[in-house]
Structure 1
C-alpha cells in the first residue's frame, strides 16, 4: 500500500477536524420544541434570552443545547387518597400542562429536565389529597365532578406559582370508593329517590283533590246563581215556549190550557 504524500496529511486532518466541529456545532430543533443554551465558558445556562426556536442552529462546539417539548402535554395519574373520615379513595386524573416558554431557561436551571416527576406530579398529588380530604365518601360520590376538578386545579395553581410551568386543566376520570361504602351509598340514594317519588305522588293527589273541590264549588255557585234567577214568571214563559214548540210536532197530542200547576198547559198523548 502506498503511503500518502506528506502534503495531503494536514489537509485530511483539517477536514476531519472540520467535520467534527460542524457535527458538534449544529443543532436541529423539531416542531413543538425549544432549546436551552448552556455556555460552558460563558456563565452556564442562558436565562436572559429567549429559547432557541424550531429549526437549524449553529452553536460553539463546547456549548450544549437542552431540548424541551413546549407543547401541551398530558399525564395520567392514579393515586390513593383519604377522605375526611379516613377511608381510602382511588382517584384517576389527567393533567394538561406545558412549560412556560419565556422562562424555559429558568426551568432548566432551577428545576431540571425531570421537572414533571419532581414538580408537577407531587403538586397534583398534594392538591388531590387536600381536596378529597375535605369530603366524606358519600359527598364524593354525589358531588359534581366538575367542582372537584376546579378545586384541584386551584390548589395545584397555588402550589406551582412561580415554578415556570403552567397547568391548563385537571380532569377527574374516576373516583373509586370501597365496595361496601359504594353499595351503602347506592342503597341510600335509592331510598331517597323512592321517598321523593312518594312525596311527588302525594303532592299530585293533593292538587287533584284541590282541583275537584274548586270545580265542585264552582258548579254549586253556578247552580245557586241560576236558581236565584229563575222566577215564576220566567218559568211560566219557558213552559209556554216549550208548549208552542211541542204543538208544532207532527205527533198526535191533546193540550189542555190552564189545567196544569200554576196555570201551565198539560200535554196528553205522544203518538
Structure 2
C-alpha cells in the first residue's frame, strides 16, 4: 500500500519562529482574568484621601454620614466619592453704588472650607465640587451683602473706614452661610475701584490736604521757634539779673566784711594803745633809759645835780 504524502497546500498550525496561537490566547485570558480579579477585589474597599471625606452611595442613594480619611470596606455595588474639605478662596468683583451714589467696583476674597460632617448634604443639594458651592451659595450672597454694605458708606468713607466696612461684610456673610455647610474663615476687601472723575477729585483733595498739612506744620515750626526765642530771651534776662544780684550781693558782703575788719582792727588798736598806755610807768621809762645809757656821765651838768637825780633814780634808791 502506497504511503500518502502530506498535502503541501494546507498551512501548518505551527510555523517555526512564531509563537503558538494557544499560547497567545492563554496569555490574553490570563491578563484579563488578573484585571478582573483586581477589579473584583477592589470593589470591596475604598480609600479616602487626606484632606477629603468620602460620600458613600448605594445605587444613587447617599449616606448621611461621610467616611473619614483612610481605608474602608464596602459592598461591591456601593460607590465612594472623595470630596475635598481643604480651605479654598473665592474672589468676587462686585459693582455697587455708595451712599453718595458713586460707582464702586469692590473686590472681595472669602476664605472658606466645607464642614466635613456636612459634605453629604452639600453633595445631595448642590454638588460635589467647590465650583458648584460657590456658584449656588457663595457668589450670590457675597454680591448681595457687598452692595448692601457699600450703600451705607460714602465713597470717601469707604476708603477711610475700610476696616469697619470689612467687619460688616464679614459678619453678614458668616451669618448668611451659618447653616449652609460652608465655614467662612476670613473675608478680605482686596480693592476699591472708583471711576476716573472721583479718583481725580480724591487726588486733588489729597494734594490740598497735604499742602494744608505742610502749611500747618510750617506754622507750628515757626511758633515753636518763636517760643524758643522767648524762652531763650527770658533765660538770658534771668541770667543777667542773677549776675547783677550776685554782684551786688558780693559787693555788699565785701563792704560789710571790710567794715567789720576795720572795726575789729580799730578796736584792737585802741585796746593795744590803752594797754600800752596803762603799761608805761616812771619806773619803766627809767629802766628803758638805763638800757640805752652807755654809762658815761654828761660833761655839762645843770645846777640841779646829776642826770640820775633828774630822772629820780636817787629817790628810788633811797626808797
Mark yes or no: TM-score above 0.5. yes
| TM-aligned CA distance change 1:189 to 1:159, over 3 Å | same
> Which protein is bigger by CA-based radius of gyration?
2
Q: Where does structure 1 differ by over 4 angstroms across 4 or more consecutive aligned residues?
A: 14-26
Alignment-derived partner of residue 37 in structure 1: 56
CA deviation after TM superposition for structure 1 residue 18, in Å: 7.0
Alignment-derived partner of residue 230 in structure 2: 213
**SS in structure 2 at match of 1:120:** helix
The more displaced of 215-224 and 200-209 is: 215-224
CA deviation after TM superposition for structure 1 residue 87, in Å: 2.5
1:134 equivalent to 2:152? Answer yes
Alignment-derived partner of residue 179 in structure 2: 162
More helix by share: 2
Q: Which of 200, 216, 219 is residue 199 of structure 1 equivalent to?
A: 216
Alignment-derived partner of residue 119 in structure 2: 104
C-alpha distance in 2 between matches for 1:194 and 1:162: 52
TM-score relative to the length of structure 2 = 0.60
Alignment-derived partner of residue 10 in structure 1: none
Alignment-derived partner of residue 59 in structure 1: 74
TM-score relative to the length of structure 1 = 0.70
Measured on the aligned residues, the alpha-carbon RMSD in Å equals: 3.3
**SS in structure 1 at match of 2:236:** helix
Alignment-derived partner of residue 106 in structure 2: 91
Aligned ranges 1:242-261 → 2 under 5 Å: none
CA deviation after TM superposition for structure 1 residue 220, in Å: 1.5
1:69 equivalent to 2:73? Answer no
C-alpha distance in 1 between matches for 2:250 and 2:88: 96
CA deviation after TM superposition for structure 1 residue 30, in Å: 2.9
CA deviation after TM superposition for structure 1 residue 17, in Å: 8.4
Residue ranges of structure 2 left out of the alignment (5+ in a row): 1-32, 255-319
1:155-174 Cα shifts (integer Å, max 9, x gaps): 11011111111011122222
CA deviation after TM superposition for structure 1 residue 187, in Å: 0.8
**SS in structure 1 at match of 2:185:** strand
CA deviation after TM superposition for structure 1 residue 102, in Å: 1.7
C-alpha distance in 2 between matches for 1:86 and 1:233: 81
Residue ranges of structure 1 left out of the alignment (5+ in a row): 1-13, 238-271
